[in-house]
Chain A
Amino acid sequence: GAVVSQHPSRVICKSGTSVKIECRSLDFQATTMFWYRQFPKQSLMLMATSNEGSKATYEQGVEKDKFLINHASLTLSTLTVTSAHPEDSSFYICSAPRQTKGTQYFGPGTRLLVL
């Protein structure tokens, strides 16, 4: 079964609104989670590393004020796309490494469409 969940799976919003995406590890604790963005027919691009109890680490070129990340607990990280615009439309995927298995587990993704 799934070990990492994301909510919502799909969201459509108007330009200028903010959208929050949740990523949960279901049966293990994750002090670190990763957020990726995937454009159609392209690979995953790492956006940021979410750290429980400290600030997220953003990759070069990713606006931290645009993509707010909060790692609220050992099982939950949220990504908020603030003042969304059509160019923010994409597939957002989170992952969480399970230290005991040395493997990362991916959420099913959230498809965001900004009108």
Chain B
Amino acid sequence: GNSVTQMEGPVTLSEEAFLTINCTYTATGYPSLFWYVQYPGEGLQLLLKATKADDKGSNKGFEATYRKETTSFHLEKGSVQVSDSAVYFCALTDISSGSARQLTFGSGTQLTVLP
């Protein structure tokens, strides 16, 4: 079956520090990979995605590259801000059949950025 393993948190960084949150996956088909962000008290928001190997998803200064050879999709940001404090979820969905299916989530990583 499909699974997502995410770096355990919590992660605490100072403002302008470099961020990496590791994510690896196992999948039986051809998954699409996602990073979702959940701000305190809110639902999940799609941060970025990649649908095939070597694709790079990017948004709001965050990036992640779909690495099939290492089955990874690590999230990075060069300079974090206090407003980036949230919980980050790595996820995958297998859309090899051509239709979107339910997402498989990692355990989430709590990020706190201090001023």
Contact = CB atoms under 8 A, between A and B. Distances in A.
Contacts of A97: 99-101
A49 interface: yes
Contacts of B49: 103
B107 A43 contact: yes
Query: Is the contact region of chain A dominated by helix, strand, or loop, or is it mixed?
Result: strand
B: contact size bracket:
20 to 34
Given A43-B105, A43-B107, A104 B100 contact: yes
B43 A102 contact: no
Query: Is the contact region of chain B dominated by helix, strand, or loop, or is it mixed?
Result: loop
Given A102-B51, A105-B46, A109-B42, A43 B89 contact: yes
Contacts of B42: 108-109
Most buried by B among A6, A49, A106: A106
Nearest to B100: A97
Interface of B: 32, 36, 42-46, 49, 51, 89, 93, 95, 99-103, 105-108, 110
* The 6 A-B residue pairs with the shortest CB-CB distance in the complex, in nearest-first order: A97-B100, A108-B43, A109-B43, A106-B44, A43-B107, A43-B105
17 contacts: A32-B100, A41-B108, A42-B107, A43-B106, A43-B107, A43-B108, A44-B44, A49-B102, A93-B43, A102-B95, A103-B49, A103-B100, A104-B93, A104-B100, A104-B103, A107-B43, A108-B43
